[in-house]
Amino acid sequence: MQQIMLSAFLLAFCVWVDLVPLIKKKEKKALWFAIPSYLIYLILNILVGLNVKTAGLNQIIAQLVKSAMKLE
Amino acid sequence: MKNQKVPGKKITAIIALYLIGSSLVESSVSGAARQDSWFCVLLATGLALLLAWLYSSILRLHPGKGLFDIAVETLGAVLGKIVCAIFVLYAVYLAAQVIRVFEEFVHLVNLPQTPEIVLLIFTVPLVAWQVRSGLNNMANVSAFLLPLQLIFVAITIVLGIKFMDPENIRPILSAKPTQMLKATLGVLALPYGETILCTSFFGEVDQKESPFKIMAFGILIAGAVLVMARLRNLLILGSATVQMYLFPSYDAVGVISLGDFVTRISVLIGVNLVLAGIIKVSAYLYSATLGISRILEIRDFLSPAVSCCLLIAGISSILYSNILDGMKFITIMPYNSVLFQILLPAVILIAGKLKKKAAGGKKWPEKNR
């Protein structure tokens, strides 16, 4: 829960200093990237905060590289 | 915004700090050569100049342009933007990796009770703000920090002489050639090959300055620091002990004391490494931001910085479950770096040369070379 609260605090700060000005300026292209990024950040932190077990990104990449390069 | 050109010397400072920032984990890739790992770092520094030559060849073909502009210009809008997206993902991934390692470092050695997310609350706004302030600001910060880094490393070496044992690096060059090659290529990929992302800055660098000289000086400064730091660690701790520690630079300097009044100077190394790490993450973020702006054609090209930094922070939290897994993965990183550091730049260079030849083969002024 601590993780979710603190990440929400950081997210709120970034929304205030970055997202709101982008919306006010109607920078549609920047918003196309910003809104999904904010959502990804929020979802990942909720998952980590709730101790949901996920395969680490490094592990997935390592398996891909090992199978592509036939490493042991 | 792009009219204000950044002097080459300051870009050299960014590149040097960007490479020094990896010294925290560098031993993980060069460790295979044990007591000869310092020689592998030296060899990799020499080979890195070849990479700098490759990257500067791309920049020389398109003076005044950065990596992403060049990719779109040479490969066309669709393929060029796909290549840009690949580099953006690479930058985001590396930045997440570095943020996580530095988070773990601060958490393990200084603030073990503090949740890692608290460190992110301070790091994310700092890095994002630095990038939003522009390359010139980042370059000024780097130019200020680089001499401090060099002074601190020199102090730790001078104070550490008393604790060094030359037997720790003997017998010299006794490692197997395959181990030496593996360690050298590992250091070449991490950190030297990552210089490819710095080529995206060159759209804002004075065209009169030679890209090769800028990159080569940065690589040589960083190379000197990495070799000296590696030698210091080996001479103080010995290769077997260096392999046991997660952050050997910090632990080697922790041994140093001068009487009872100068002790625990490893804190300075910690601060040093974190500062270099912040510049490193900022450089990744700046590169990723430029790439995203190029792909989406955003006019205010630094506006995606904050959202990109949040994305990096999010990804950093799902990279691995513990630092030991993370360190194991660092040994795999050189393999996946081949695509980003050699193949794609080579494709861009060849495509650029062919396009130039087809256009009549105009030569650029000699001073740009």
Distance, CA of A11 to CA of A17 (rounded, Å)? 10
A32/B contact by beta carbon, under 8 A? yes
Interface test with B, best of A19, A37, A52, A59 (most B CBs within 10 A): A37
Instruction: Name the helix (H) or strand (E) containing B194.
Output: none
A20/B contact by beta carbon, under 8 A? no
How near does any CA of chain A get to the CA of B168, in Å? 31
Kindly give the confidence (pLDDT) of every residue in chain B, 369 residues in length, as a single tens digit, with 9 standing for 90 and above: 455 789 999 999 999 999 998 776 666 677 777 889 899 999 999 999 999 999 999 999 999 999 999 999 999 999 999 999 999 999 999 999 999 988 888 888 878 888 888 888 999 999 999 999 999 999 999 999 999 999 988 998 999 999 999 999 988 888 889 989 988 998 999 889 999 999 999 999 988 899 999 999 999 999 999 999 999 999 999 988 888 888 888 888 888 888 777 777 888 778 887 888 899 999 999 999 999 999 999 988 899 999 999 999 999 999 988 888 887 787 788 888 999 999 999 999 999 999 988 887 555 554 444
Question: Peptide bond preceding B171: is omega within 30 degrees of 0, i.e. cis?
Answer: yes
Judged by CB atoms closer than 8 Å, whether chains meet at A58 and B320 is answered as: yes
Do residues B279 and B142 lie in contact, with contact meaning Cβ atoms separated by under 8 Å?
yes
- B121, B306, B325 ranked by CB distance to A9: nearest: B121
B324/A contact by beta carbon, under 8 A? no
Q: Is B166 left (phi over 0), alpha (psi -120 to 50) or beta?
A: alpha
A16/B contact by beta carbon, under 8 A? no
Judged by CB atoms closer than 8 Å, whether chains meet at A29 and B310 is answered as: no
Beta bridge partners of B258: B262
- Closest chain B residue to the Cα of A45, Cα to Cα: B314
3-state DSSP call for residue B87?
Answer: helix
How near does any CA of chain B get to the CA of A32, in Å? 9
Q: B179 CB contacts (<8 Å, ≥6 apart)?
A: B32, B33, B34
Judged by CB atoms closer than 8 Å, whether chains meet at B319 and A58 is answered as: yes
Contacts of residue A38 in chain B, CB cutoff 8 Å?
307, 310
CA dihedral B98, B101, B103, B109 (to 10 degrees): -140
CA–CA distances in Å: residue B204 to residues B7, B66, B67, B281, B329: 9, 8, 11, 19, 34
Instruction: Name the helix (H) or strand (E) containing A60.
Output: helix A57-69
Contacts of residue B320 in chain A, CB cutoff 8 Å?
56-59
CB pairs under 8 A between A and B: 112
Unique residue bearing structure tokens 């690589």: B219
Do residues B58 and B348 lie in contact, with contact meaning Cβ atoms separated by under 8 Å?
yes
B185/A contact by beta carbon, under 8 A? no
Interface of B with A in 268-297 (CB under 8 A): 292, 296-297
Per-residue pLDDT of B312-360, as tens digits, reads 999 999 998 888 888 778 778 888 899 999 999 999 999 999 998 888 7
Distance, CA of B192 to CA of B185 (rounded, Å)? 10
CA–CA distances in Å: residue B66 to residues A23, B73, B199, B202, B362: 29, 11, 6, 5, 20
Judged by CB atoms closer than 8 Å, whether chains meet at A14 and B307 is answered as: yes
How near does any CA of chain A get to the CA of B318, in Å? 6
Distance, CA of B163 to CA of B160 (rounded, Å)? 5
Task: Delineate the domains of chain B, giving CATH numbers in brackets.
Answer: 8-368 (1.20.1740.10)
- Closest chain B residue to the Cα of A8, Cα to Cα: B121
The pLDDT score that the predictor gives to residue B114 is: 86
**Structural tokens at position B32:** 């295979």
3-state DSSP call for residue B6?
Answer: strand
Exposed, middle or buried, B77 (CB in 10 Å: 0-12/13-18/19+)? exposed
CA atoms within 13 A on the CB side of B100: 28
- Closest chain A residue to the Cα of B119, Cα to Cα: A6
